[in-house]
Amino acid sequence: MRILVTGGAGFVPSHLCERLLSEGHEVVAIDNFVTGHRRNIAAFAQHPRFSFIEADVTRELPVPGKLDRIYHMASPASPIDYVELPFETLYAGSDATRLGLDRARADGARFLLASTSEVYGDPAIHPQVESYWGNVNPIGVRSVYDEAKRYGEALTMAYHRYHGVATRIVRIFNTYGPRMRPNDGRVMPAFCSQALRGEPLTVFGDGLQTRSFCYVSDLVDGIDRLMESNLTEPCNVGNPHEMTMLQLAEYINRFTGNTAGIIHKPLPKDDPTRRKPDISRASAELGWAPRVSFEDGVSRTVDYFRALGEV
């Protein structure tokens, strides 16, 4: 198939490009490097079935030829990005979703929206199941991401219902692995970089808030399976292995041999208290389950940051 991946030079989408290439598809990636990086596509940039277009997908999709699949993955995706790039974040979830859906409709392509566990906000239901409508602050600092993705989901369902476009919606939970930006502010690159520099890890608030971390190859497996399934309802993909940020900090310090300990910093506004995916739907409909252990995933991620040398 001929497949478009928006945000192709980003962390998750670059791994998706590699997987789709390994399956024999022709892959076109598009990115404007607002948060993506050329080094993320370096490993397959010369592949004969890969091509790259530098463009801003919130304005245009200048991709020649007919497409069979469109993965709309482009968006800033870290709480620091939402503060620094509010409009890029809003338009990636809204305008770019519309351009992708219009193109899918014109080409008869299947369209997948990369949505997020952030649609659940600071959830009152635990673990989060797809039927939960969420608890989102519509004007808070994270709202540029949360509400754009919620609008993106609404738009995707409208194109499905009214225009008959074949659509899929994946709700991505916290993901980690090689190709994260060391300074993107998210907890995994922050802790790994700090530990490798021998600095104390910055735990926000009391550190009792939880997250559940999925290794990137597991996530990409789930996304690929969802695209090729018949499921038009949103589907959580994430690893239910839940831990507090204090537990994460202790693990990273022990794993890297960092003796600098931790320091506490203020908790960012609207930071969700608990997060863990209910993956019954992905299990039943996609036959999907995460496979990479936390220990292996952290080991590969720390190796990446060490080799990158920017830490």
| Catalytic residue annotation | 145
Residue 187 C-beta: closest distance to ligand UDP, Å: 3
Stretches 37-45, 48-56, 181-189, 252-260: which one binds ligand UDP (CB under 6 A)?
A: 181-189
Please tell me whether residue 2 adopts helix, strand or coil conformation.
strand
Structure tokens, 290: 């995460």
Calculated CA dihedral for residues 233, 234, 240, 245, nearest 10 degrees:
-160
If one asks whether residue 211 binds ligand UDP (CB under 6 A), the answer comes out as yes
Q: Applying CB under 6 A, what is the total number of residues that bind ligand UDP?
A: 16
Identity of the amino acid at 249 = A
Q: How distant is the alpha carbon of residue 245 from its chain centre?
A: 19
Minimum distance of ligand UDP from residue 274's CB (angstroms): 10
CB of 81 to ligand UDP, least distance (A): 10
245 near ligand UDP, judged by CB under 6 A: yes
Identify residues 254-273 at the interface with ligand UDP (CB under 6 A): 267-268, 271
| Residue 82 vs 111, nearer CB to ligand UDP | 82
Residue 123 CB, nearest approach to ligand UDP (Å):
12
The verdict on 174 binding ligand UDP (CB under 6 A) reads yes
196 makes contact with ligand UDP (CB under 6 A): no
Stretch of residues binding ligand UDP (CB under 6 A), selected from 49-57, 97-105, 124-132, 186-194:
186-194
Binding mask 86-105 for ligand UDP (x = CB under 6 A): --------------------
* Residue from 76, 79, 177, 178 binding ligand UDP (CB under 6 A): 79
Cβ distance to ligand UDP smaller for residue 167 or 239: 239
Structure tokens at 8: 């192709």
If one counts every other C-beta atom within 10 angstroms of the C-beta of residue 73, the result is 31
CA distance 307 to 236: 32
In the chain, which ranges are continuous DSSP H helix? 11-22, 79-84, 86-93, 95-107, 143-163, 187-196, 216-227, 245-256, 280-286, 294-308
Least distance to ligand UDP, CB of residue 228, Å = 28
112 lies in the site for ligand UDP, by CB under 6 A: no
CA 169, CA 111: separation in Å to the nearest integer?
9
Up-side HSE of residue 146: CA atoms within 13 Å toward CB? Answer: 23
| Nearer to ligand UDP among residue 167 and residue 193 (C-beta) | 193
Identity of the residue, 97 or 210, whose beta carbon is nearer to ligand UDP in the bound complex: 210
Single residue of 187, 192, 196, 279 touching ligand UDP by CB under 6 A? 187
235 binds ligand UDP (CB under 6 A): no
User: Is the CB of 185 or the CB of 232 nearer to ligand UDP?
Assistant: 185
Task: State how far the alpha carbon of 260 is from the alpha carbons of 106, 179, 239, 304, in Å.
Answer: 56, 25, 29, 21
What letters, b where the CB count within 10 A reaches 16 and e where it falls short, cover 237-272?
bbbeebbbbbebbbebbeebebeeebeeeeeeeeeb
Distance CA(17)–CA(130), nearest Å, equals 27
Both structure tokens of 89:
């974040």
Bridge partner list, 110: 69
Query: β-strand 2-6 against 26-31: which pairing, if any?
Result: parallel
Q: Which of 69, 186, 276, 281 binds ligand UDP (CB under 6 A)?
A: 186
> Which residues would be at the binding site for ligand UDP (CB under 6 A)?
78-79, 174, 185-187, 190, 202-204, 209, 211, 245, 267-268, 271
